[in-house]
Amino acid sequence: MAITTAKLVLEDGMIFEGLAYGAEGQTLGEIVFATGMTGYQETITDPSYAGQIVVQTAPHIGITGVNTRDEESNRIWVSGYVVREPSRVVSNYRSERSLDEELEENFVVGISGIDTRALTRHIRSRGAMRAGIFSGPRSEQTIERLVEIVREAPEMKGQSLSDIVTTPDAYEVPHLGQFIGRVSILDLGIKRSTIEHMIKRGLVVTVLPALTSLETLLATKPDAVFFSNGPGDPSASAGQIKLLREVLERRIPFFGICFGNQLLGRALGFDTYKLAFGHRGINQPILDRITGRVEVTAHNHGFAVRVPGGEAGELVDSPAGFGKVRVSHVNLNDDCVEGLECVDVPAFSVQYHPEAAAGPHDSSYLFDRLVQMVVSRGEN
């Protein structure tokens, strides 16, 4: 089998040379790194990674292969994939195919055999940026031309990607066990494990497209509304922010994760901003300010909410008129806002991922909090 060379080109002119991995060709996107040592299949099928080239910081990737059960959605969403050393064998009783076969069949262009530690340190120093992977004949263009192609690609800031990753049609997932209530989800790039957490707790789930109107949402008769994770810049989601404000005005219980947290922040009148290189991985320490408990959590976000005065733990006023708000969770690495809780309306959110496949599971209790909100609304 012929060995095909590949080049990873960053917009600042940095070049890494390696070998083609997965499909051959050309791909462009924002380059980010993920620190998880496990869960690579959940990573590449997470819709929040749409438009991004993902670097795995763990040096050895692919030993457990891939299987249909562990997919977080119905396709691979990463724009490109970067690994140091692909596993030469697949060794797991649940495996159905190899990772490189999966990438190739899904036309995901990747690169292997590069110093991912040096690359990650460079991204941490310079920040997330546009990049491209070029293999086969595409890699034979001049370096100047490859850098030019990368710099012509759109930046992540300002992009609205929800309509790309959302479901085209509404659908319902029945509850398991005792019926508790109904939750309507605005699909901004939802992961299957989120739905599984809800239905296991007796919630009937209705999943709606990202551009759903208020009338359509209310027609599902929700006991609670949920905004999912997803890719893109929250400031480019005016329609979803308007819908969320209408939900809050009607005092329908609300829970948001990741992108949903950012949209709650903007609906409350706060600003969002782009992080230098984001949080991506399954080992981020979070402080729950309400309980004082430290949780190890899964993350995948490049934007965050700014709450002036709230970072210190004080109650602040919602600039949009929804009463008092507290920052409920903070990241212990950089003090980034990781959770919001409203005092005067039934709404809360977290920036991280309590559904956390492939783990950790410290924060799954947040789904129990959602259930309690649904039950409380039924009692009132």
Residue 334 pLDDT greater than 70, yes or no: yes
Confirm whether 157 is domain-assigned. no
Give the pLDDT confidence of 204-258 residue by residue, as tens digits. 999 999 999 999 999 999 999 999 999 999 999 999 999 999 999 999 999 999 9
Q: Does 109 share its domain with 197?
A: no
Q: Does 103 share its domain with 168?
A: no
User: Has 11 been annotated as catalytic?
Assistant: no
Q: Does 182 share its domain with 318?
A: yes
CATH of the domain at 37: 3.50.30.20
Give the pLDDT confidence of 345-379 residue by residue, as tens digits. 999 999 999 987 666 788 899 999 999 999 988 77
Q: Does 147 share its domain with 166?
A: no
Angstrom distance (rounded) from CA 22 to CA 25: 10
Both tokens assigned to 176: 């398991």
Query: Cβ neighbours of residue 284 under 8 Å, at least 6 residues apart?
Result: 296, 297, 298, 299, 331, 333, 352
Q: Does 174 share its domain with 69?
A: no
Number of separate domains in the chain? 2
Per-residue pLDDT band at 290 (split at 50, 70, 90): confident
How many helices, marked H, and strands, marked E, lie in the chain? Answer: 10, 20
Domain that holds residue 218: 162-379
Angstrom distance (rounded) from CA 346 to CA 377: 9
Beta strands in the chain (DSSP E): 5-10, 15-22, 26-34, 52-56, 60-61, 80-82, 85-86, 109-112, 129-135, 171-173, 181-186, 203-208, 224-227, 254-257, 271-288, 294-306, 316-317, 324-331, 337-342, 347-350
Region 68-83 average pLDDT: 94
Confirm whether 99 is domain-assigned. yes
Both tokens assigned to 376: 């409380």
Instruction: Name the nearest CA neighbour of 80 among 62, 58, 106, 57.
Output: 106
Confirm whether 50 is domain-assigned. yes
CATH of the domain at 344: 3.40.50.880
SS3 141: coil
Query: What share of the chain has pLDDT > 70, as a percent?
Result: 98
Confirm whether 69 is domain-assigned. yes
SS3 252: coil
Confirm whether 261 is domain-assigned. yes
Boundary residue ending a domain (96, 122, 152): 152
Q: Does 355 share its domain with 245?
A: yes
Q: Report the residue count for the chain.
A: 380
Kindly report the pTM of this predicted structure.
0.93
Residue 324 near residue 315 (C-beta atoms within 8 A): yes
Q: Does 233 share its domain with 261?
A: yes
User: Has 379 been annotated as catalytic?
Assistant: no
| Catalytic site residue from 11, 71, 258, 336 | 258
Q: Does 260 share its domain with 344?
A: yes
Query: Which residue, chain included where needed, has tokens 């691979």?
Result: 76
User: Has 342 been annotated as catalytic?
Assistant: no
Q: Does 179 share its domain with 110?
A: no
- The mean predicted confidence, pLDDT, of the chain is 94
